[in-house]
């Protein structure tokens, strides 16, 4: 064994040994952060008022919430059906709910969720290359949506006459950033040579930024961008519109749940209009770009409660609405996802036992 291989093996072994410690530390830090955020948010309000707002909902309001929450869960599947041609709605629901449950509960759950995506799609006959394309495209489109919706929301707020200098500046900066991202993406898809140039430029910029914090430079980005271009161009040539539509529907359905929760808790459009709610919602989505806690627990609540209260909402009602919203969009997917995960596990074991029995039978003389 060479010294380089020995060092790599030793490093891998150290990483494996330290991973439980790192995981425990992440869990502890996440819990401390969540507790601190909720303590700060709830320390100056009456929880009795919050509970009163929740229990005051009528049966028709509860039915409406159940309807929009159920629709929101379904929209997760629509995105994956568009980026994975041939994937049925039932399987897409099983996969998205199971992976969402992990993302919402486990530190670094997004990486584990991607691994589960490969396992599930592989078990259903989809190749790793097709899964890679789906993961990449859905991730890019999700990022575009997170950039586009804040810009749209700020523009709508400005059109309603609530435009301050800060909001106009933020909208203009957002529009510029979104246009730049779309132009770069389009150039990258135009040709392999252009994709390579984009990768080289992005790698250089990132390496210079990393040098400021004394981190090693990145390598191979030009190879990655060329591979991404070659893998996705066929899918996007004919499927960019349904992918875009499904992604926007998924994000806006999440916003619809928040809007209905606010209305049901008594936060009227006169207090916080729908465009302002969209703006706060959009920036809460941006806040989850860096996963400080699983599923943005605590972070999303902080942005929503602070933003909606600043916009004019009565805090106890806003808190009640946000808690119900998070129960439906963070907690409910966990419960549904656990069921889906167990069902998939059972089906996988049954298929494995069937294959084993068939192989054993075929091997007998």
pLDDT digits (tens, 9 = 90+) for 278-297: 989 988 888 777 777 777 78
* Tokens linked to 211: 């040098």
Cβ neighbours of 28 (radius 10 Å): 11
Asked if the model's pLDDT at residue 237 lies above 50, the reply is: yes
Asked if the model's pLDDT at residue 163 lies above 70, the reply is: no
Q: How confident is the model at residue 220 (pLDDT cuts 50, 70, 90)?
A: confident
Asked if the model's pLDDT at residue 190 lies above 50, the reply is: yes
Cβ neighbours of 69 (radius 10 Å): 21
Q: How confident is the model at residue 196 (pLDDT cuts 50, 70, 90)?
A: confident
- In sequence order, what are the residues at sequence separation of 6 or more whose Cβ sits closer than 8 angstroms to the Cβ of residue 158? 167, 168, 171
Asked if the model's pLDDT at residue 276 lies above 50, the reply is: yes
Report the distance separating Cα 64 and Cα 319, nearest Å.
Answer: 19
- In sequence order, what are the residues at sequence separation of 6 or more whose Cβ sits closer than 8 angstroms to the Cβ of residue 5? none
Asked if the model's pLDDT at residue 11 lies above 50, the reply is: no
Quick one: which of 253, 236, 218 has its CA closest to 182?
236
- In sequence order, what are the residues at sequence separation of 6 or more whose Cβ sits closer than 8 angstroms to the Cβ of residue 72? 250, 253, 254, 256, 257, 328, 329
Mean of the per-residue pLDDT values for the chain? 80
For position 304, what pLDDT does the model report?
A: 92
Report field, pTM of the whole predicted structure over 0.85: no
Asked if the model's pLDDT at residue 170 lies above 70, the reply is: no
Asked if the model's pLDDT at residue 199 lies above 90, the reply is: no
**Residue bearing the bigger pLDDT, 22 or 229:** 229
Phi, psi of 209 (to 5 degrees): -65, -40
For position 98, what pLDDT does the model report?
A: 93
Report the distance separating Cα 271 and Cα 309, nearest Å.
Answer: 10
Report the distance separating Cα 255 and Cα 261, nearest Å.
Answer: 10
Most trustworthy range by pLDDT among 61-75, 103-117, 307-321: 61-75
Cβ neighbours of 341 (radius 10 Å): 19
For position 67, what pLDDT does the model report?
A: 96
Instruction: Kindly report each contact of residues 188-193 with a partner whose C-beta sits within 8 Å and lies 24 or more positions away, as own/partner.
Output: 188/225, 188/228, 188/229, 189/229, 189/232, 189/233, 189/236, 192/226, 192/229, 192/230
Report the distance separating Cα 194 and Cα 229, nearest Å.
Answer: 10
């Amino acid at each position: 064994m060479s010294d380089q291989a020995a060092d790599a093996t030793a490093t891998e072994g150290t990483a494996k040994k330290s991973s439980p410690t790192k995981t425990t530390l992440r869990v502890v830090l996440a819990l401390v952060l969540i507790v601190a955020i909720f303590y700060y948010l709830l320390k100056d309000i009456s929880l009795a008022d919050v509970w009163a707002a929740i229990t005051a909902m009528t049966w028709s309001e509860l039915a409406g919430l159940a309807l929009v929450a159920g629709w929101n869960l379904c929209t997760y599947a629509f995105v994956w059906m568009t980026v994975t041609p041939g994937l049925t709605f039932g399987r897409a629901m099983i996969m998205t709910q199971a992976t969402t449950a992990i993302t919402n509960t486990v530190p670094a759950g997004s990486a584990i969720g991607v691994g589960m995506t490969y396992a599930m799609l592989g078990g259903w006959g989809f190749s790793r290359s097709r899964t890679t394309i789906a993961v990449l495209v859905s991730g890019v489109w999700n990022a575009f949506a997170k950039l586009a919706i804040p810009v749209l929301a700020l523009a709508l707020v400005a059109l309603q006459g609530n435009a301050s200098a800060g909001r106009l500046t933020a909208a203009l900066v957002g529009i510029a950033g979104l246009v730049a991202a779309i132009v770069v993406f389009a150039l990258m898809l135009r040709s392999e040579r252009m994709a390579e140039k984009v990768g080289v430029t992005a790698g250089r910029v990132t390496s210079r930024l990393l040098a400021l914090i004394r981190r090693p430079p990145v390598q191979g980005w030009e190879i990655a961008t060329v591979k991404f271009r070659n893998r996705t161009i066929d899918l996007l040539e004919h499927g960019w519109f349904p992918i875009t539509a499904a992604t926007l529907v998924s994000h806006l359905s999440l916003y619809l749940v928040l809007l209905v929760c606010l209305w049901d808790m008594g936060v009227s459009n006169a207090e916080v209009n729908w465009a302002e709610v969209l703006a706060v919602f959009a920036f809460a989505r941006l806040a989850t770009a860096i996963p400080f806690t699983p599923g943005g627990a605590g972070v999303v609540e902080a942005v929503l409660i602070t933003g909606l209260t600043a916009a004019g909402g009565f805090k106890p009602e806003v808190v009640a609405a946000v808690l119900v919203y998070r129960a439906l969009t963070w907690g409910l997917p966990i419960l549904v996802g656990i069921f889906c995960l167990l069902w998939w596990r059972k089906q996988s074991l049954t298929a494995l036992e069937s294959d084993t029995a068939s192989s054993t039978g075929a091997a007998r003389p």
